[in-house]
Amino acid sequence: MPSVRREYGSEAGATRAETVAEQIRQAIRAGAYVSGQRLLELTLAAKLNVSQNTIRDALRLLETAGWVVKHARHGVYVRSFTRDEIIELYALWQAVESLALRWVMKTANRKDLSQLSRIIQTARKDMLEGELEESSEAIFDFHSLIGQLSGKAQTTEILQSLHNRIYLLEIVRQMRTPRSLHSHEERLLLYEKLVSLMEVSHFDEARSLLEFLIQTDCDSLLTLFD
């Protein structure tokens, strides 16, 4: 899946470690490194032409953001998940993003809602053009924007970390059983309805639909881990 945003600052203002972390993150998002794969400092240093210290610092940034996990005496791995961890992760996503949605709907103006609507329009355009991975990418942008529009720094940070983990699971889904065109269509219809509910300030219905979308996503993913 192509990335549409940087996570570690602008190119001009990034430190060396942040720049390298961004390169590794993009490689993970593209599927070059998959869940459960070990990331060797020496190999990465040679490939990216930087020192091992820089790689070590970059991996710490990625660990904080939820992309990788460090196992004592065993090294750093792209994060992987058990079935129970997936259930917990999606429950956390539901809870935190529902809270963010409440704040968004209290303060969102027409411009904010228009931004959300345009993202879903982009997702539909991508789907109609057969770019299903790009369509899924736009959905992630939608959820990220909800966090940003909440205006709550800690909530945004927590959601970004959760979204990063969910993205890793989406890569697993795409590798095993990609979403069908029909499932994309059904999903987008619900996201369009969600935006409509937000536009008319129907919070309870919007929250229920958001939670349904997240739970449905979880349920379909869990079938791959049976």
pLDDT above 80 (res 10): no
Find all residues with CB under 8 Å of 164, minimum gap 6, and list them. 65, 66, 67
Report the amino acid identity of residue 56: R
Q: Which band of pLDDT confidence, cut at 50, 70 and 90, is reported for residue 13?
A: low
pLDDT tier at 3 (50, 70, 90 boundaries)? very low
pLDDT for the residue numbered 11: 52
Tell me how far apart the alpha carbons of residues 164 and 171 are, in angstroms, rounded to a whole number. 11
30 falls in which pLDDT band (50, 70, 90)? Answer: confident
pLDDT tens digits, residue range 113-140? 999 999 999 999 999 999 999 999 999 9
Domain boundaries, the chain: 16-78, 83-225
Percent of the chain with pLDDT over 70: 94
Domain 16-78 in CATH 3.90.25.10? The answer is no
pTM of the full structure: 0.82
CATH topology of domain 83-225: Four Helix Bundle (Hemerythrin (Met), subunit A) (1.20.120)
